[in-house]
C-alpha cells in the first residue's frame, strides 16, 4: 500500500500523525489540524512505534475508536511512544489508551455519556483550556471512563459521567481529553486542539495549501522525470487543479485528455475545451466516447457495477489516447496518468487499513487490474477546500475553482436504473434548470453541491394539462459540507425550491414530480449511487 509519506513531499513542515484507532472522525481530526495551519497525516494504529518515530513527527494524536481498551483484541498503545519526547494528545479511546499505558486505570463505570455534555474545567493554569470558560459543552461518546489518572498527570476537567475527563503533563508534553474536540458540537474543540498544537507541542502554524503548491510541483517533476504524461480531465475542479499543477511541473511533456463520455451536464464539454486550455496553455485531446460508454452501460442497474464499468472504460480510452499521442515514437511511450484523486475518494473506496468500502470511486476502486500506467495523484492527501486554494495559487480562475463538485462517472450515477440516451437527456435538462435557479438566487457559494437524481425505474401518477400522466420523479439533493467527509442537507428558501419544481415539471415533460432529499451524511452519502 502506498504510504502517506510517498504521496506528499517531504517539506520543512513536519507532520502531526493522527493514529487511527478505527474512529469515525479520524480524517476529520487531520482536517482540523490543517485548519490550525499545521500539516497532518493519518496512519493506522498498527504502525510500529519505531516507524512512527522514524518519521520525526511534530506531534502524535491518538484518535477515538469503538473498542474498550481492556477487551481482547483491542488496539493497544506502546508505552514507548509516550516516553519518546514527542508531544502526544489522546482523544476519547486514545485518551483511555494513554491512561492505561501510563499506569492509570480504565473501567466501565456505568455512567455512559453520548452527545452534548457539560464539562467543567478544574485547572485555570491548563495548557489545553487556556482562554476558555470554566464551563463548556463538549461532545461525548463513551461507555468506559478513566477511573484513576496515571502518576504525574494532573486532572484538568470533569463531567458528571467522567470524573477524570482530561489530563495533562506539560513537562512530558502529554495531553488528553475524554471527548471529541474535532467535531463542531464541542464548543471550544478547535481552541483545545490549537492549544495542544501551538502551546503544548510548540508547533508554528505556518502550513497552508498555498505554500505547499510549489512543493507539490517539485514532487511531480521528480516523480515523472522526462517521461510523457496524460492527464484525465473530467470537467471538475479536482482534475483541473491536478492538470494545472502537472502542466506547471512538466510543461510540454503533458497531454490532457478529455473523454467526452456523454455523461456530462449541459455545456460542460464546451467549458473544458475552452476555459482550461486558455488558462493553462496545456495541449488537449478530446476523445469522443459517447456511444462506447452507452453500449458498456446498457442493461446495467447496479450502482457499483456502473462505477466499475465507467472507471474501466475511462482507462481503455486513455490507453488508446496514449497510443495516439506516442504515434510511431515507440521510444517515448506515455508512462504516467494524472488523476484528481482526493483524500475523501481514498477513504470512501476503502483506502487504508480497517476502512470500509462505502463505494468505489472511478479513480480509486474502479480501476482495472491491468492498468498500463503508473499514477500521478498530487492531490491524494488533500481535502476539497485545500484543493481550491492550491488552484487559486496556480492561477486558475474562481469560476473554475469554485465550481460545485461533480463526480467523475457523471450523470451515469445520478440515474437510478439503466443509463440510456433518453434518460440522460431528461436528467440533463432538469439539472440545468436547478443550476440556473440556484445561480440566479445567489446560492452557488452557500451550498456544497446539488445533485439532481432521476429515479428512472420509478413512475408516479400526475396531472398535467388536465390529463393523467405517469412520469418519473427527480430528487433534489442540496448539501452543505466542508470536505465531503460529512454533510448536511441545505435549507434552501422555499421560493427557490418552488421555482425549480415548477420549471422542471413544466419544461421537462418526462418528469411530473420533484422531491427533496433531507438526509445528512452519515447516514446517507451525497450521491445516490
* Residue 276: all three cell numbers together: 482550461
Q: Report the alpha-carbon distance of residue 529 to residue 520 in Å, rounded.
A: 15
Tally the residues of the chain: 529
Describe the chain by its helix, strand, coil percentages, rounded to 5.
35, 20, 45
Where do the H-state alpha helices sit in 199-302? Answer: 209-224, 237-250, 268-271, 277-280, 290-297
My answer on whether omega of the bond before 13 falls inside 30° of 0, hence cis, is no
Q: CB of 154 within 8 A of CB of 128? A: no
Residues with catalytic annotation? 92, 180, 182
Query: What sign for the dihedral angle of Cα 341, 343, 345, 350?
Result: positive
Cβ partners under 8 Å of residue 254, min gap 6: 228, 229, 230, 231, 243, 246, 247, 282, 283, 338
Strands 254-260 and 283-288: parallel
Judged by DSSP in three states, 67 sits in coil
Q: How many helices (H) and strands (E) does the chain have?
A: 16, 22
Strands (E), 108-218: 113-121, 135-142, 145-148, 154-158, 166-169, 174-177
Confirm if 382 and 342 have CB atoms less than 8 A apart: yes
d(CA 188, CA 180): 10
Asked if 155 and 161 touch (Cβ cutoff 8 Å), the reply is no
Given a contact cutoff of 8 angstroms between Cβ atoms, the answer to whether 212 and 205 are in contact is: no
**Strand 59-62 versus strand 88-91 pairing type:** parallel
DSSP conformation class of 275? I
Which stretch of DSSP H or E encloses residue 438?
helix 421-440
Q: Which of 38, 21, 203, 40 is nearest to 95 (CA)?
A: 21
Tracing cell 492531490 back to the chain, one arrives at: 379
SS3 of residue 487 by DSSP:
strand
Tell me how many degrees the CA angle 522-524-526 measures, rounded to the nearest 5. 100
Burial class (CB in 10 A: 0-12, 13-18, 19+), 505: buried
Q: With beta carbons less than 8 A apart as the criterion, state whether 526 and 451 touch.
A: yes
Amino acid at each position: 500500500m502506498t504510504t502517506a509519506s510517498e504521496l506528499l513531499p517531504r517539506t520543512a513542515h513536519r507532520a502531526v500523525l493522527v493514529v487511527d484507532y478505527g474512529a469515525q472522525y479520524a480524517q476529520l481530526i487531520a482536517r482540523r489540524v490543517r485548519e490550525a495551519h499545521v500539516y497532518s497525516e493519518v496512519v493506522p494504529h498498527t504502525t510500529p512505534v519505531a516507524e512512527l518515530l522514524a518519521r520525526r513527527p511534530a506531534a502524535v494524536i491518538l484518535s477515538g475508536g469503538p473498542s474498550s481498551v481492556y477487551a481482547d483484541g483491542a488496539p493497544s498503545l506502546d508505552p514507548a511512544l509516550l516516553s519518546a519526547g514527542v508531544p502526544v494528545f489522546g482523544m476519547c479511546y486514545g485518551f483511555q489508551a494513554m491512561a492505561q499505558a501510563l499506569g492509570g486505570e480504565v473501567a466501565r463505570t456505568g455512567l455512559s455519556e453520548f452527545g452534548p455534555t457539560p464539562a467543567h474545567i478544574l485547572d485555570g493554569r491548563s495548557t489545553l483550556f487556556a482562554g476558555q470558560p470554566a464551563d463548556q459543552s463538549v461532545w461525548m461518546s463513551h461507555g468506559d471512563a478513566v477511573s484513576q489518572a496515571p502518576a504525574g498527570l494532573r486532572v484538568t476537567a470533569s463531567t458528571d459521567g467522567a470524573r477524570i475527563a482530561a489530563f495533562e503533563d506539560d513537562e512530558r508534553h502529554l495531553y488528553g481529553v475524554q471527548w471529541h474536540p474535532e467535531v463542531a458540537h464541542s464548543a471550544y474543540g478547535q481552541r483545545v486542539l490549537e492549544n495542544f498544537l501551538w502551546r503544548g507541542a510548540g508547533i508554528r502554524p505556518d502550513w497552508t495549501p498555498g505554500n505547499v503548491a510549489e512543493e507539490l510541483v517539485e514532487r511531480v517533476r521528480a516523480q515523472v522525470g522526462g517521461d510523457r504524461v496524460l492527464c484525465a480531465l473530467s470537467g471538475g475542479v479536482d482534475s483541473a487543479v491536478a492538470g494545472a499543477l502537472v502542466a506547471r511541473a512538466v510543461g510540454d511533456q503533458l497531454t490532457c485528455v478529455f473523454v467526452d463520455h456523454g455523461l456530462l451536464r449541459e455545456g460542460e464539454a464546451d467549458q473544458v475545451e475552452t476555459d482550461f486550455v486558455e488558462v493553462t496553455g496545456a495541449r488537449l485531446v478530446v476523445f469522443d466516447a459517447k456511444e462506447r460508454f452507452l453500449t458498456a452501460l446498457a442493461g446495467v442497474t447496479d450502482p457499483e457495477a456502473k462505477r466499475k464499468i465507467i472507471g474501466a472504460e475511462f482507462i481503455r480510452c486513455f490507453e488508446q489516447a496514449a497510443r495516439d499521442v506516442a504515434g510511431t515514437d515507440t521510444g517515448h511511450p506515455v508512462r504516467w496518468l494524472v488523476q484528481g484523486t482526493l483524500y475523501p475518494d481514498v477513504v470512501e473506496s476503502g483506502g487504508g487499513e480497517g476502512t470500509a468500502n462505502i463505494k468505489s470511486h472511478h479513480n480509486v476502486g474502479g480501476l482495472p487490474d491491468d492498468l498500463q500506467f503508473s499514477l500521478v495523484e498530487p492531490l491524494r492527501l488533500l481535502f476539497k477546500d485545500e484543493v481550491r486554494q492550491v488552484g487559486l495559487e496556480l492561477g486558475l480562475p474562481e469560476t473554475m475553482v469554485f465550481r460545485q463538485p461533480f463526480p467523475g462517472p457523471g450523470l451515469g450515477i445520478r440515474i437510478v436504473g439503466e443509463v440510456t440516451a433518453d434518460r440522460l437527456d431528461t436528467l440533463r435538462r432538469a439539472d440545468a434548470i436547478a443550476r440556473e435557479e440556484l445561480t440566479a438566487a445567489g446560492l452557488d457559494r452557500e451550498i456544497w453541491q446539488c445533485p439532481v437524481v432521476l429515479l428512472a425505474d420509478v413512475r408516479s401518477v400526475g396531472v398535467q394539462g388536465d390529463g393523467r400522466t405517469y412520469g418519473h420523479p427527480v430528487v433534489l439533493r442540496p448539501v452543505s459540507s466542508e470536505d465531503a467527509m460529512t454533510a448536511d442537507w441545505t435549507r434552501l428558501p422555499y421560493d427557490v425550491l418552488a421555482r425549480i419544481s415548477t420549471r422542471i415539471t413544466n419544461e421537462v415533460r418526462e418528469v411530473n414530480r420533484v422531491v427533496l432529499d433531507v438526509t445528512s451524511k452519515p447516514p446517507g452519502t451525497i450521491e445516490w449511487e
